[in-house]
Amino acid sequence: MRPKAQKDYSHRAVTDKLDIKTDHAVRNIGRGDPELLERVIEKSGRKLVTARTRADIILYWLKGAAENTPQLVKLKTKIAHNGGIWVFTAKKGLSSQSGMDHIKREDVIPLGLAAALVDNKSCSASARESALWFVIRKADRS
């Protein structure tokens, strides 16, 4: 049996990788990449939303593993039932533009699971950062 061919998404715009759509309500948590945030605003056609507004997508720049689960528990209540949270971390051997360090994907996934979220996608967000997409399990959506 031949191995499954890997798709190359490197040519796609980061806002497409993050599945940002026109009129999406997007919230930013942490010191995100200003250039990326400008692209998100341009693509969605609206300003970033505040904590008072339920978001379709939350962009969360993780500072450290210890903060992840408690923050994801809070953020889970702030997303639309079919929305999700992108958790950004620096790529291996690099620190991000916002100063965060690399945290292995294998260490981030259990932190999301502890918040009753599952990861189902990852992407390279920039030369220095990657992101994991966490969502509420379909069975748990109201």
CATH number at residue 112: 3.40.50.150
User: For a pLDDT cut of 90, what percent of the chain falls above it?
Assistant: 51
> In the predicted model, is pLDDT for residue 5 greater than 80?
no
The domain containing residue 20 runs over which residues?
14-136
Is residue 130 helix, strand or coil?
Answer: strand
Place of tokens 């692209």: 39
> In the predicted model, is pLDDT for residue 29 greater than 90?
yes
Q: What is the DSSP-derived secondary structure letter of residue 26? A: E
Burial 17-35 (b: 16+ CB within 10 A, else e): bbebeeebbbbbbbebbee
| Full 3-state SS string of 29-65 | ECCCCHHHHHHHHHHHCCCCCCCCCCEEEEEEECCCH
Is residue 117, in this structure, part of any structural domain at all? yes
Count of domains forming the chain? 1
For the entire predicted model, the pTM comes to 0.86
Is residue 112, in this structure, part of any structural domain at all? yes
CA atoms of 89 and 79, how far apart (whole Å) = 20
Is residue 110, in this structure, part of any structural domain at all? yes
Is residue 9, in this structure, part of any structural domain at all? no
Please compute the mean of the pLDDT values over residues 12-31 and round it to a whole number: 94
Is residue 2, in this structure, part of any structural domain at all? no
Please compute the mean of the pLDDT values over residues 98-105 and round it to a whole number: 69
